[in-house]
Amino acid sequence: KRAYKPVSYVDQMAIHFSLNGNMIPKDSDEGRRQSIRLSIAAGRLILLSFLSSEKAPVETSAVTSEEAEIKDEESTGDTQAAEEEEAEGSGTAEAAEAAEVEEPPPPRVKEQKLANQFNFIERASRTLNNPMRERACQSEPTPCKDFSATANQWKIYDAYVEELQKMERSKEKEKPKAQIARKEEEKKKGRKLTSLELQSDDITKISKAAKIMERMVNQNTFDDIAQDFKYFEDASDEYRDQQGTLLPLWKFQYDKTKRLAVTAISWNPKYKDLFAVGYGSYDFMKQGQGMLVLYTMKNPSFPEYVFSSESGIMCLDFHNDHPYLMAVGFYDGNVAIYNLKKATSQPSYKSSAKSGKHTEPVWQVKWQKDDMDNNLNFFSVSSDGRIVSWTLVKNELVHTDVIKLSVEGTTMQGPEGLQLQTLGCGTSFDFHKKIDYLFLVGTEEGKIYKCSKCYSSQFLDVFEAHHMAVDSVSWNPYHLKVFISCSSDWTVKIWDHTIKTPMFIYDLNSAVADVAWSPYSSTVFAAVTTDGKAHVFDLSINKYEALCTQLVVAKKKNKITHVQFNPVYPVVIIGDERGHVTSLKLSPNLRKMPK
């Protein structure tokens, strides 16, 4: 009939286990019969035990003197008479009871059933009883019938314990001698270690107070900069004809990062004065260790957190909902998650060759919304042409290849007639602010791919964007169709993702290292070039030229690598190849709010 058929009743109950019991209600006929039988049997047992206890001394007693024999005969005569009377009384009682029910069988002592310790169904319904070896049985007034059973059980128990101790001893013997030697060394150094531990405990007690004192001293030292940050507004902007300036504020640097380049910058989403800086090297021939450093604008002289890594850090990203979690990508193709709450220098979770790490440097990482099982997950893009989704499942990073970048028209002829597809090299990507599945990928070939999380084998669109590598691509936070890209071919381009050609093209006369949209206006963006200049544009005021072009890094051998807007304050931070991060304040003309 091509229609849903209504079901009148659906049984919602499912029985997973049922067991028929052997209990009988006391009030039933069978229950009454059994209770009567039990009472009769109990009466018989009591009588038999009484008779046996009385007869024993009469048979065994033997006295030589005649007086004693006479006395014994008298006493035995009295006792026998009493027994006969009692026996007659009990016999009449038994006859009366037997008449009520039925003729009982000849009296027989019923053997008590021994509890089976290995029948787990029976044991589950009992309370836990752990007999204290022989004492439990010996302390009872009558001999314990379970004595032999419990003794056997304890023998079995002792055998198991002995076996367990043997295994532990063998494990200790198998431990390498190096560990034993190390322990001996630690014992020798025991006094020194305890003194150091005491010292570290004292430091942790005063660390918070010391940090506050350090910030107060820094605020006094850099008082003029703090005043500029808070209150200074460039009055000359009124006479500049819409042009603006960048006022240098604090310069952040750390001694151990002098020879490393700033490869990534990210502001913390919760603490607006805190930002993370990744250090590594863009030079293929100068690869070494990397560092992850977190600074706050409240203390420009020393970082808040410092983490070192074996490989250079290429990218990082803070989690929006958990601001203490950071995803990090390394030059060796690994990704990791750092937890700022844990006082360790190592990442909490890290990929490996077994868990599907990238084979080339990871150029960008981005946190995504938690998956359907509420597991944390982030995406990464690498030069190996893979966009990978990493999910944190049971304290382990599990990877899923979302898409592989293939270059069209570059199929190579391999051995034995095999067709080999050349993979593209991803350099940057960004996810749409509202459409969850939509993202853009920039490549070394200069193309930008519009991709979907749902399709792993094809692209939604391809933009022939630049002639050299795409260094950065970013969606506009306000206008849902617009995105911006920059490249080493000296250009910054603004696109509508529904149109194949760019809407705006800006030539900045030098390779553009990074570009960023402002958080306060849909028309303002900043770009930095390798000649040490920062450019700030506002399309609502001037669509053709930058409102501000300012030299930030003076030295010739030094290049700017990254730029980021603060999410709240009118401040940008710019990183360079010497490991320095400079903060600059935007003048009023550069931060006009849209109408």
pLDDT at 415 over 80: no
Structure tokens at 36: 């009567």
36-45, pLDDT tens digit by residue? Answer: 998 999 888 8
Mean pLDDT, the chain, rounded, equals: 79
CA atoms within 13 A on the CB side of 183: 6
Phi, psi (degrees; rounded to nearest 5) at 346: -100, 155
Q: Which residues pair with 582 in a beta bridge?
A: 251, 574
Q: From 474, 572, 486, 574, select the one nearest 517 (Cα to Cα).
A: 474
What's the mean pLDDT in 503-531?
90
Percent of the chain with pLDDT over 70: 76
DSSP β-bridge partners for residue 274: 296
**Cβ–Cβ contacts within 10 Å for residue 271, how many?**
15
User: What 8-state DSSP symbol labels residue 376?
Assistant: -
pLDDT band, very low/low/confident/very high, at 413 (cuts 50, 70, 90): low
- How far apart CA 582 and CA 525 sit, in angstroms, is 18
| Apex 220 CA angle, 215 and 225, nearest 5 | 95
* Chain segment 392-404, per-residue pLDDT in tens: 888 788 888 888 8
Contact 548, 244 (CB under 8 A): yes
- Exposure class string for 328-337: b at 16+ Cβ within 10 A, else e: bbbbbbbbbb
**Residue 98: its pLDDT value, please?**
44
pLDDT at 547 over 60: yes
Contact in structure between 278 and 295 (CB atoms under 8 Å): no
CA distances in angstroms from 580 to 223, 257, 311, listed in the order given: 21, 8, 20
pLDDT at residue number 70: 47
Place of tokens 């440097």: 361
State how far the Cα of 245 lies from the Cα of 243, in Å rounded to an integer: 7
The pLDDT, as a whole number, for residue 416 is 59
Q: How high is the pLDDT of residue 96?
A: 44
CA distances from 377 to 9, 162, 536 (A): 43, 49, 34
HEC string of 203-257 equals HHHHHHHHHHHHHHHHHHHCHHHHHHHHHCCCHHHHHCCCCCCEEEEEEECCHHH
The pLDDT tens digits of the residues spanning 12-64 come to 888 999 988 888 888 888 888 989 998 999 888 888 888 876 654 444 444 34
Residue type at 278?
Answer: G
pLDDT tens digit sequence for 368-389: 888 788 888 899 998 888 888 8
Residues 6+ apart with CB under 8 A from 266: 275, 276, 316, 317, 318, 326, 564
Burial of 306 (0-12, 13-18, 19+ CB in 10 A): middle
**Which residue in 227, 268, 267, 271 sits closest to 249, CA to CA?**
227
Give the length of the chain: 595
Give CA separation, 432 vs 326, 463, 474, 538, 564, in Å.
Answer: 20, 16, 9, 22, 18
CA distance 469 to 513: 10
Among 574, 494, 566, residue whose Cα is nearest residue 533: 574
Q: Is 62 exposed, middle or buried (0-12, 13-18, 19+ CB in 10 A)?
A: exposed
Residue 79 predicted with pLDDT over 80: no
pLDDT of 68 reads 46
In the numeric block, the tokens 């250090």 are attached to 279
Both tokens of 125, joined, read 């319904």
* Cα angle: 533, vertex 250, 556; to 5 degrees: 30
Nearest CA-CA partner of 329 in 357, 295, 369, 287: 357
Asked if 520 contacts 537 with a C-beta cutoff of 8 angstroms, the reply is no
Is 265:275 a contact under the CB 8 Å cutoff?
Answer: yes
CA distance 13 to 561: 65
> Is 125:116 a contact under the CB 8 Å cutoff?
no
Using CB atoms within 10 Å of the CB of residue 439, give its burial: 0 to 12 exposed, 13 to 18 middle, 19+ buried: buried
Segment holding 147, helix H or strand E: helix 147-174
183 burial level (CB within 10 Å; 0-12, 13-18, 19+): exposed
Structure tokens at 96: 């009366």
Question: Given a cut of 80, is residue 360 above it in pLDDT?
Answer: yes
- Say if residue 527's pLDDT is above 90: yes
Q: What residues does 417 pair with on adjacent strands?
A: none
CA dist 502 and 484 (Å) reads 9
Does 91 have pLDDT greater than 60? no
**What confidence tens digit (pLDDT) does each residue in 252-284 have?**
988 888 888 899 999 999 888 899 999 998 887
Q: Are 228 and 583 in contact (CB under 8 A)?
A: no
- In 3D space, the residue among 529, 531, 530, 516 whose CA is nearest the CA of residue 586 turns out to be 516
Return the pLDDT at 473.
92
Task: State phi, psi for 416 to the nearest 5 degrees.
Answer: 60, 30
